Structure 1
């Protein structure tokens, strides 16, 4: 293999240790190898940074080992040109295997330019991605809490959902609060609590409220409503933070929002996943689809194509969220290119 880098390093990352191998020397000759093991605390990672600087090593490659690579990346990205490698693509030949040999192998591949870099978003986009993913989890939890309330009402034979399209709107929550308090609702009071078109359904609502609501039911509904209020407050706080982080990328969000079926929330989530500079990392929509995990590779031998499963990815990457909103990866990539990504 022909070398293309005079000085580079390979890191074999673990939870408690990082084995670093620095290769240096002329491109025409066998390189000199220096190997050292560091811990993974911040102080020890700073020692790794100093060790690399002393050897004037700026080009460093490492495996994408779960989330263990992230703290190392955060420390070294200010002084090194980092390359994050897919572990499947740099597997060593079967045989003896040690941490030192793994670090040497990664360094050797990087020296010869054989490590294909993985896409790593800038710090602010990584933060935005954390927020959008957590927001999605909280939204899923709110849906679960609402479903639990629906289930309890059915158990108590309270048929509000028969006449109300949104049980958790202003009118629905007002009625639920009265039920939780154990009050006996009269027709006049129900008429005051409900809004708009529901005032025409007061008599059916009275029949729907005439169930067998036990003390246990009221307590359970109260627990769920309190948790639901907490989740909604958390989502509101997250939304404020997301809107602050997305300000520099308003133009890109507006472009993504032009895709049929896409709303602002979906546009921000998509932007956080593929980054505003998608065209810089993915030269075509096919490569983006491959990274997302919706394009299985080829496995053909003797004219026979074998079935392959797509790689595992997040729900957002898999496109389930995207399909519900009608957008396509091709359109997203094209818009990212137009925006100057």
Structure 2
């Protein structure tokens, strides 16, 4: 059957897929086949048959909605078969007017895609998705582990063991030794207090008083269960860290042997190796940016990768992060300029990094404090995160190195700009500004 390209179609050979849990409905252009709509199952052989049918119909681009996690196998299989897959937001389809009730979702997707009315969502490369999955799993494990620490604290408080009043970190060296000794059967406060590290500010007598309580059997059982879950998650975290190290080592061109597990007591060396791995992968050291630590850079690179060419410019990148003002204008008047709410993980990491600049003596710290004098802290935090996002974009796309000019240099530049603005203002009013003590 002859295939004719209509002048009003941007993608004449586009297909639309309505993704579901048990089946997928696929629509292709009417000039490709006599039955342009077909239903396929969710099994792997069904997805293979779907790909064969799309290729036989001459389809070159496919649009599918991000329905739960059911779209991921479809996306990956079609992409592996050489098809260009666009993951579109369901809100885009909803907001386009003109849909009729007798049109299937897959047909409507195919029609909008053929006319170029949809935009593809950002999805990193396949190798970055592998790293992202492991990094997100590690984040979930850390959250679960923290919840079991809270359960241990609750069990201790119910027995009136006020360990948190004398030790800041319950799961530190001293806290873990005491809790493990309690679970092992030790009840004497004086014996338990001997685990006190010399850096603990509280005295041994204070720890003895805090460990004097009533040892209820049910609370001790809960304490032991929580400690066991904590240790079990710690073992999974160790495996997750080893997997992350191996994945990062594959992407790193460094000659440093960072794939091996660091020896005990070499925490600083391990952090340096991770920093070197991330720098080799990204082509630049993002940790040079004030406020961005290893955890923040790890989250940014695992979520985005190093290729930001999908974004047209830095403005599109910041808008995707949800850090740009969503200006609403009606009748020439700005109604609202608040940023939209977003659960973007990179946005959250940048906002946490911006919050850490409140006491920094860097230029970015001075910038954050200057904004706090003009607006409330949440808005200043968002504006500083926007500035950090621009720095990250330029470093990843241009390979530029970040150089901190320091707080004094930033304040000097701000003073020079203020003086220049005052001179321009005075000149418009017919005056001239001279420094105090200068000759007339």
Q: 97, 102, 106: which is aligned to 1:93?
A: 97
Counterparts of 1:309 and 1:80, CA distance in 2: 39
Is it true that 1:67 corresponds to 2:69 in the alignment? yes
- Compute the displacement of 1:203 (Å): 2.5
Q: Give 1:284-303 correspondences, 5 Å limit.
A: 284-295=313-324, 297-303=326-332
TM-score with structure 1 length normalisation? 0.85
Q: 16, 19, 36: which is aligned to 2:22?
A: 16
- Compute the displacement of 1:95 (Å): 5.3
* Bigger RCO (CA 8 Å, 6+ sep): 1
- Point out the more displaced range, 178-187 or 129-138: 178-187
Is it true that 1:208 corresponds to 2:237 in the alignment? no
Is it true that 1:106 corresponds to 2:87 in the alignment? no
Cα-to-partner distance string for 1:226-278 (whole Å, 9 max, x where unaligned)? 11111111112111112222231532286222221222222111112223212
The equivalent of 2:83 in structure 1 is 80
CA contact (8 A) 1:6 1:24 kept: no
- Compute the displacement of 1:71 (Å): 1.3
Counterparts of 1:224 and 1:331, CA distance in 2: 43
Counterparts of 2:22 and 2:211, CA distance in 1: 59
- Change in Cα spacing, 1:186 to 1:2, as seen in structure 2 (3 Å) is closer
Gaps of 5+ in 2: 1-6, 253-277, 355-384, 401-440
Secondary structure in 2 aligned to 1:83?
Answer: strand
Counterparts of 2:204 and 2:301, CA distance in 1: 46
- Compute the displacement of 1:218 (Å): 1.5
Counterparts of 1:211 and 1:297, CA distance in 2: 56
CA contact (8 A) 2:299 2:349 kept: no
Q: Cα RMSD (Å) of the superposition?
A: 2.9
Cα-to-partner distance string for 1:106-141 (whole Å, 9 max, x where unaligned)? 223322333211111222222222222222222122
Counterparts of 1:257 and 1:131, CA distance in 2: 21
TM-score with structure 2 length normalisation? 0.67
Which structure has the bigger radius of gyration? 2
Cα-to-partner distance string for 1:316-336 (whole Å, 9 max, x where unaligned)? 24x333322236222221222
Q: 339, 350, 356: which is aligned to 1:322?
A: 350
- Aligned positions, number: 332
Q: 393, 398, 415: which is aligned to 1:333?
A: 393
